[in-house]
Amino acid sequence: MSRNQLSSVIVSSLRRTRPTFTSCVQPPHHQSISHCRFASSIPTKHKHYDVVIAGGGAVGSVLARLLLDDSIGSSIGNIIHNRRRPLKIALLEQRSSPPPLDSLIQQNGKQQSQTPHPRAYALSPTSLSYLGSNVLQSLIRSNRCGVYNSMQVWEHDGPAQLHFVGEDLIGAVNDGRLVDLDRYINSGEEQNDASASNNPRKGRRRPWLGALVEDAPLVSSLWDELKSDDRINLLDNVQIKSINAPSTSQMGNVEPPPLVKLSFTQSTINKDKNEDAETCTISTNLLVAADGANSLVRRTVGTFPMMTSSYGRKAVTCTVKLESSMAQTAFQRFLPHGPIALLPVWNSQADIGSSEKSKEGPIYANVVWSTTPSEANHLLSLSPSDFTATLNKHLCQGPNVNPSLLPNNSNIPSIPFVSTIAKEVDSLLRTANTALTMGTWTEAPTRNYFRMPPKSIGVVSPILGFDLTMSHVTASSGGYTSPRVALVGDAAHTMHPMAGQGLNLGMGDVNSLAMLIKEAVDSGMDIGGTSLFLDRYNQERMIKGSAIVGGVHGLHEIFGCSGNLPGSVADGTYDSGMGSSGGLQSLIGYSRSLGMNVVNGLPLVRRALAEVAAGATPKGI
């Protein structure tokens, strides 16, 4: 059997594997009935491309946009970009192309009476800047950006809170380590490091900590921009049939190094409304796998061992209508089995200047509730009104005092004196921790008080469930790359959504890869033909990816979300004290509260954390 035939067999057998999403989730643009084909005038059969991107979701589309954006690039490219050889790119997407943003938002010139889709991402300022000012402005104009400039994190059985505010990022913006999004949006001016550092930020609005953007408008607006560029072939309804990628030994011994060959079918609807499938073969210098967690490219090329581990947790997500404004705040309350996040979606009633009209109308929020699979299944089985009541019960509660550190009354030594001392010490420690929390809230008026999240008044979307898995490519093989192939986004890593970092990490991957591809082109080198650029990509992303995936895993452990503590949503025992069994568990909880208090009270530490989440360049780099 030839290598090609072998790949085809592998591809068809892998295709039978089910994706990891557990509910029947079809992102909205899959529902599009128009089977369009956005091929350029050049026929796609036997065509050669500099870069082929498999997967036109958020990550693949942003990579294409960054590659086509000549205003950003390598330092050589910034000087000579007018003379940069135009890249030829193909983007292969298995689903139908997303509808244009306008048609998604409006029908017959009228605002559609739809509600936000629960598949949405909290994007950092840095990731938002990778969308480019045009895409970002269209999302803001069409009211599809849920901006937040403050964030409140607290726990169910302790007094501690973390309050991040936009002001925490001003230092990084002033130093040019973080994009000045305000200026970027208002002027449409793309920033590079040099211009940012020469323009200190003065007298502006609070910087955004981030914005929540739904998947469908995000991908639609990116495709809208890509469609207008004839350097890219956007091919939808594609089924990859075979991938023939060179081996490491071939790369060293054959001159010129062999290319990647891909064959695929593309289905179109003919004039009789029947489906036609056309088979195409293409070659490329670099194949980028942006085809998600279940990446067909990664599995077919077969040289990417992954470290994978289930969190034993499931995320439940939906859109709710609120009774009052979120005031541009993202809320997250930690329960014993995982957090509930309430995130502003669309900018309804949010004052972001240009969107006056959005001050009217309903207020929506995106809910992401991570918990054990059995609790998640219980939540998924609830009626919308029961879900709303359960959500309010578990989210709309303030901080608590720490539960007793003593195991439980029956185990306290019966000697009266010892017992009294133990109780006194326990009470003193718990009071001290609570007092410390109150004391650390005084640094700025914006973080002086706990804000109760607004109440939900109804679920207005389907309630979806996702199994949560941690995965990352291993360093033992090529990591993020193999000859002429690179992994980006969920194809290379997945993690718990508690820190909202999955897509942000993917955005970082594509920014790094796009810069290196431009550097290769500007140096006149074969993009994937030398390990020079791909090795650098691998090193950069291996460090970043391991740190973020490992960090999120650490947070999951610190917050005790990985255990199976007593108490449950179903029997309502989380907040009655029964969720805490005293002893070691309470001690861990107590230390966690103390740790959160300390972080909240130390501006340098808190700002450093806010900067990491925002995607700022660390100081001194």
Ligand X SMILES: Cc1cc2nc3c(=O)[nH]c(=O)nc-3n(C[C@H](O)[C@H](O)[C@H](O)COP(=O)(O)OP(=O)(O)OC[C@H]3O[C@@H](n4cnc5c(N)ncnc54)[C@H](O)[C@@H]3O)c2cc1C
Binding site for ligand X (CB under 6 A): 54-60, 92-95, 121-122, 238, 240, 290-292, 296, 315, 317, 368, 466, 489-490, 497, 500-504, 506
Q: How far is the CB of 146 from ligand X (least distance, A)?
A: 11
Residue with tokens 């082109």: 521
Q: How far is the CB of 513 from ligand X (least distance, A)?
A: 13
Q: How far is the CB of 297 from ligand X (least distance, A)?
A: 7
Q: What 3-state class would DSSP assign to 48?
A: strand
Q: Is 34 exposed, middle or buried (0-12, 13-18, 19+ CB in 10 A)?
A: exposed
Whether residue 403 contacts residue 372, with contact meaning beta carbons closer than 8 Å, is answered with no
Whether residue 281 contacts residue 45, with contact meaning beta carbons closer than 8 Å, is answered with yes
Nearest to ligand X of 91, 521 (CB atom): 91
Q: How far is the CB of 299 from ligand X (least distance, A)?
A: 10
Q: Strand 47-54 relative to strand 89-92: parallel, antiparallel, unpaired?
A: parallel
Which residues contact residue 138 at a Cβ distance below 8 angstroms, ignoring those fewer than 6 apart?
Answer: 101, 221, 224
Please give the span between the terminal C-alpha atoms of the chain, in angstroms, as a whole number. Answer: 51
Whether residue 319 contacts residue 117, with contact meaning beta carbons closer than 8 Å, is answered with yes
Q: How far is the CB of 32 from ligand X (least distance, A)?
A: 12
Q: How far is the CB of 290 from ligand X (least distance, A)?
A: 6
Q: How far apart are CA 391 and CA 395, in angstroms?
A: 6
Whether residue 161 contacts residue 173, with contact meaning beta carbons closer than 8 Å, is answered with no
Nearest Cα residue to 166 out of 545, 616, 500: 616
Whether residue 488 contacts residue 63, with contact meaning beta carbons closer than 8 Å, is answered with yes
Q: How far is the CB of 57 from ligand X (least distance, A)?
A: 2
Nearest to ligand X of 291, 426 (CB atom): 291
Phi, psi (rounded to 5 degrees) for 274: -100, 160
Q: What 3-state class would DSSP assign to 274?
A: coil
Nearest to ligand X of 318, 569 (CB atom): 318
Q: Strand 329-335 relative to strand 150-155: parallel, antiparallel, unpaired?
A: parallel
Nearest to ligand X of 277, 444 (CB atom): 277
Nearest to ligand X of 201, 241 (CB atom): 241
Q: How far is the CB of 296 from ligand X (least distance, A)?
A: 4
Nearest to ligand X of 146, 483 (CB atom): 146
Nearest to ligand X of 55, 579 (CB atom): 55
Nearest to ligand X of 467, 540 (CB atom): 467
